[in-house]
Structure 1
Amino acid sequence: MNIESLPTYHQDEQLAQAEAGVEKLFKQRNDRWYPLEHIASPGGWINDPNGLCYYKGRYHVYYQLHPYGTKWGPMHWGHVSSENLVTWRHEPIAMAPSFEAERDGVFSGSAVISDDNKLVIYYTGHRWRNGIDEREGNLQEQCMAISEDGIHFEKKGVVIPCPDDRILHFRDPKVWKQGSEWRMVFGVSTPEHRGEIWMYHSNDMIHWEFDRPIYQHPDPDVFMLECPDMFPLGDKWVICYSAMGLKHTGFEARNHNNAGYVIGSWQAGGDFHQESDFHLWDRGHNFYAPQTFQAPDGRRLVFGWMSPFTEPIPMQDDSWCGQLTIPRVVSLAGDHLRTQPVHEFEQLKSNIQDFGSVNLAVNASQKLLSDVQTADIEMEIDLKRSQAERIGLEIHRTSNGDHTLVCYDDQLQGVVIDRHCNTYGDRGYRTAPLDTTDDTLKLHIIVDRNSVEVYINDGLEVMSSYSFPAEGPREIRLIAESGEGSAYINRISIAQLTTIWEGNDR
């Protein structure tokens, strides 16, 4: 691969200023909700995971970062890395805006390893048409940068310019190698304002040719498909995207924007044939912009952004905002994807307490732990014998009655995350449907200082939501509500979790 470096304007100075911005926010950070188990910036706003890869013995996770405040702003690329997917360290900020095509933001993208063992980043250079804001639309182009250590990057400039001035959204490239050819997909809002995913191909990673629109959303109100991904699983291909303009129906797609996937078949040079319905990646309040990559052992892994779209966002007052999910492994389960915490996450467990089986009378509760900031909970509910209408756990319960409820709801026939008792942040509830012909329900719940992730029946459904506790000790309490009889818990165990941050990292 031979491409000249792009002259950039004060790139080192821009990176130094961004580091100083994060450091300033870090020094005044309030840690009451800062995560111990989830990737976040030391300070500032973060959103989409970017450039996920394994390179030269380390896993690399980059992410969209605004280093000068706790609301969305000019995007940079933050960076963390890990040897083992368990403990992480903060790395220097990888990229800052430094040439004309990206003057208003280094937007999302992906990473691949070239044949000469260089880390190649493809991302979107972003600028406002009016130079101020989005009122007159975006100017977006796909750009390229190269690194030999995963830390320092040489920008190579634009490799795919936007082909039509009427296109206002043209972003988020995902690249992979298919045989001897490189493939790229990214999201487009067409001149007719239809959300599509376009595919390009290249033999040299530098010169790219348009292949086809590989996917168009069937709903004409969906005007943009952000952060698309396309990858093989078994003998199928998965296309995932984050849909802008998708309307909710019933329990479906209740968030501001919603990330999901379709499963089908595809051969290079041909069309994608959809064989499944659209499914949400995650049914919690806060999940968006997932990106997958392949681990050295062949596993398909995914990170998502726990997106705090709905006001109020209380962590913005604490000098940081936003985090990623824990890493999950993806597998096929019929016409669905199954996602579960990577097995390495088990290494963070300590002080496991086994409560065995519990028979809880209706409208009763039982305190399990008195003061918990992080926890890994495994629980199995006997649905066949239980007659209570709601059975579950009050998480982050404080003395004023604040809590987030994670439960099975027999009337809704699903698992619920209910935040209506929270003082801080958005409230409301979310529901994940169940196959209630099963006799048991398995829940695996990851609790952090400010969030819950709920894995249902070995990850057939997942729910990720923020939960901002009130002041004071944070209990975990088992509850059974209403109905005609008891709740039967076959087993429940709770482990504390050690931090993911290496040594004294921030």
Structure 2
Amino acid sequence: MITQNKLQQAQDALNHAIGKVKNKYRLGYHIMAPANWMNDPNGLIQYKGDYHVFYQHNPYDENWGPMHWGHVKSKDLVHWEHLPIALAPGDTCDTNGCFSGSAVDNNGELTLIYTGHHDVDKETDIIYENQNIAVSTDGITFHKIVENPVIPEPPADSNTHFRDPKVWKHKDSWYMVIGNSTEDKIGRVILYRSLDLRKWSYVGVLAEGNETLGFMWECPDFFELDGKFVLLISPQGMKAEKDLYNNLYQTGYLVGDYDYQTNDFTHDSFIELDHGHDFYAVQTLVDDKNRRIAFGWMDMWESDMPTKADGWCGALTLPRELTLGKDHKLLMNPVQELDALRNAEHNIIRQQKVADSYLVEVNEELLEIKAVFDLENCHASAIGVKIRGVNEEETVLTYNLNQQKLTLDCSKSGRVNDGRRTATLEANELLSLRIFVDRSSIEIFANEGQTTMTSRIYPIEEKLGIEVFTENGEVRIKELTYWSLKDIWE
């Protein structure tokens, strides 16, 4: 009965907190908890026709705390419905937290695989972690199995970091990757195998880093995509290198070839996946259209989080379809279903030369913008787009043609400290920007996902509009279109 009592207490606390939430920065078309804290996306799956997304959640406070699993579902990846809290900690297998994990459909039984977190000594940060299972036949109510923990401890050559299981089926076997750290504090991903999801055997190390790739690889995800294998990881402890790795923790990937018989994964170097301020713990699912769809946590550890003052914190990114591009580069683009968010289309510019700037007055808070610049005969040194407030506020996206770099500057939209992020983007003939603006977020997809930038912003002014601009010359703008977007949460 511990679980049911804990779930009811958590749901009651959440229901009470909902009435205190302020809507100042609440997002219009992103997944958020109804109130209080959320972080990593968990358990992404399409089950009985619905998309399910679970997430790390503290229903008791707007700060991180005892991790529960929040839960939403959708039929179209656009309109989301909040469901009751799925998992609560407090049993012997998960004393202090139901940490991140994944979901599979086991012959109609929705199975959640998650990490049980246990604090041995909080003051000295001594912990231990194990892997557990909870099941459901209706996709709403879950019970933890009596066999928990199904993996009680990490391999002998590990330290205590042992979490975030991602499970999939290949032929007649289930496989599980887990984020891990060696005794020498080197991040790695380890692999297990099972025939029944209950009894697991350790296969070995799938991939391991070095001193430059962090002390722990969180939230691994391993899958085949367009003939190659991709390992997504979120390393903790990497040092910044010029424009790279400027957040506290990173998310990126390794691409290569894999042999199930030998557990041999030969791969290229680590590549950062998103170049904004707020993208972490990305996880994926495969849907019935055979698309690999990803969500990330749209916040970052130890960053300023002004929404806490409003009784909530944390959001997930838009759903993004993953594909492999040239040179095995992983591309992310918004799923097609997001077109359903659009209200009326406003075509502002078609094949028009602009020198200096061109302003379109728009006071909508929820926007999608498409801006396409012709670079073949461009005489400017830089071009870009500003989302402007009525006075001083602006969020600025600038492309420097000589350096071939894209810079997002949020320092005048609520990120006074550490407001800029820059990414290399080789755009030779065309710069195409697809920009999603929500009340407190911006997501940028440049040149069909060659570069993405995701950041939280915290404006206080009303919107003035959208401005395209140039520096030191003119550019032909092939297209400038915007849509106001629906608020799915009303």
TM-score of the aligned structures, taking structure 1 as reference length: 0.92
Change in Cα spacing, 1:382 to 1:310, as seen in structure 2 (3 Å) is farther
**Counterpart for residue 486 of structure 1:** 474
2:258 is equivalent to residue 231 of structure 1: no
- Report if aligned partners of 1:147, 1:154 keep a CA contact under 8 Å in 2: yes
**1:354 maps to which of 347, 370, 375:** 347
1:424 is displaced (CA, Å) by 5.4
**2:384 maps to which of 376, 392, 405:** 392
**1:274 maps to which of 262, 266, 285:** 266
**Counterpart for residue 363 of structure 2:** 371
Partners of 2:303 and 2:322 in 1: CA distance: 31
- Report if aligned partners of 2:158, 2:181 keep a CA contact under 8 Å in 1: no
The code of the aligned residue for 1:361 comes to A
**1:477 maps to which of 466, 475, 486:** 466
1:219 is displaced (CA, Å) by 3.1
- Report if aligned partners of 1:102, 1:125 keep a CA contact under 8 Å in 2: yes
Change in Cα spacing, 1:302 to 1:117, as seen in structure 2 (3 Å) is same
2:420 is equivalent to residue 439 of structure 1: no
1:310 is displaced (CA, Å) by 4.2
| Alignment map for 1:130-169 (pairs within 5 Å) | 130=121, 132=122, 135-156=124-145, 157-163=148-154, 164=156, 167-169=159-161
259-268 vs 408-417, greater mean Cα deviation? 408-417
| Alignment map for 1:16-165 (pairs within 5 Å) | 16-114=8-106, 116-130=107-121, 132=122, 135-156=124-145, 157-163=148-154, 164=156
1:220 is displaced (CA, Å) by 5.6
1:407 is displaced (CA, Å) by 2.4
2:338 is equivalent to residue 345 of structure 1: yes
1:307 is displaced (CA, Å) by 1.8
The code of the aligned residue for 1:431 comes to T
1:284 is displaced (CA, Å) by 0.8
2:183 aligned counterpart, secondary structure: coil
The code of the aligned residue for 2:488 comes to I
2:406 is equivalent to residue 415 of structure 1: yes
Partners of 2:54 and 2:142 in 1: CA distance: 13
The code of the aligned residue for 1:237 comes to F
Write the deviation string for residues 297-329 of structure 1: whole angstroms up to 9, x where unpaired.
Answer: 111111011123344221111111110001011
1:129 is displaced (CA, Å) by 1.4
- Report if aligned partners of 1:349, 1:498 keep a CA contact under 8 Å in 2: yes
1:427 is displaced (CA, Å) by 4.1
The code of the aligned residue for 1:227 comes to C
Write the deviation string for residues 53-98 of structure 1: whole angstroms up to 9, x where unpaired.
Answer: 0111110000000111111111000000001112111111111113
**1:464 maps to which of 454, 457, 476:** 454
**Counterpart for residue 208 of structure 1:** 200
Task: Please tell me the root mean square deviation across aligned C-alpha atoms, in Å.
Answer: 1.7
- Report if aligned partners of 1:196, 1:213 keep a CA contact under 8 Å in 2: yes
- Report if aligned partners of 2:374, 2:430 keep a CA contact under 8 Å in 1: yes
Change in Cα spacing, 1:272 to 1:166, as seen in structure 2 (3 Å) is closer
**Counterpart for residue 324 of structure 1:** 316
Unaligned runs of 5+ residues in structure 2 are: none
Partners of 1:198 and 1:398 in 2: CA distance: 48
The code of the aligned residue for 2:125 comes to E
Change in Cα spacing, 1:146 to 1:463, as seen in structure 2 (3 Å) is same
1:280 is displaced (CA, Å) by 1.4
The code of the aligned residue for 1:454 comes to I
Partners of 1:42 and 1:489 in 2: CA distance: 41
Change in Cα spacing, 1:272 to 1:476, as seen in structure 2 (3 Å) is farther
TM-score of the aligned structures, taking structure 2 as reference length: 0.95
Partners of 1:467 and 1:423 in 2: CA distance: 6
2:412 aligned counterpart, secondary structure: coil
Partners of 1:469 and 1:242 in 2: CA distance: 29
2:5 aligned counterpart, secondary structure: helix
The code of the aligned residue for 2:478 comes to N
Partners of 1:166 and 1:351 in 2: CA distance: 55
Write the deviation string for residues 122-148 of structure 1: whole angstroms up to 9, x where unpaired.
Answer: 100001111x35x33221001111110
2:283 is equivalent to residue 291 of structure 1: yes
How many positions carry a matched residue from both structures?
485
Partners of 1:424 and 1:301 in 2: CA distance: 29
The code of the aligned residue for 2:342 comes to K
1:236 is displaced (CA, Å) by 0.9
Partners of 1:487 and 1:320 in 2: CA distance: 43
The code of the aligned residue for 1:359 comes to K
- Report if aligned partners of 1:367, 1:475 keep a CA contact under 8 Å in 2: no
- Report if aligned partners of 1:393, 1:476 keep a CA contact under 8 Å in 2: no
1:423 is displaced (CA, Å) by 3.9
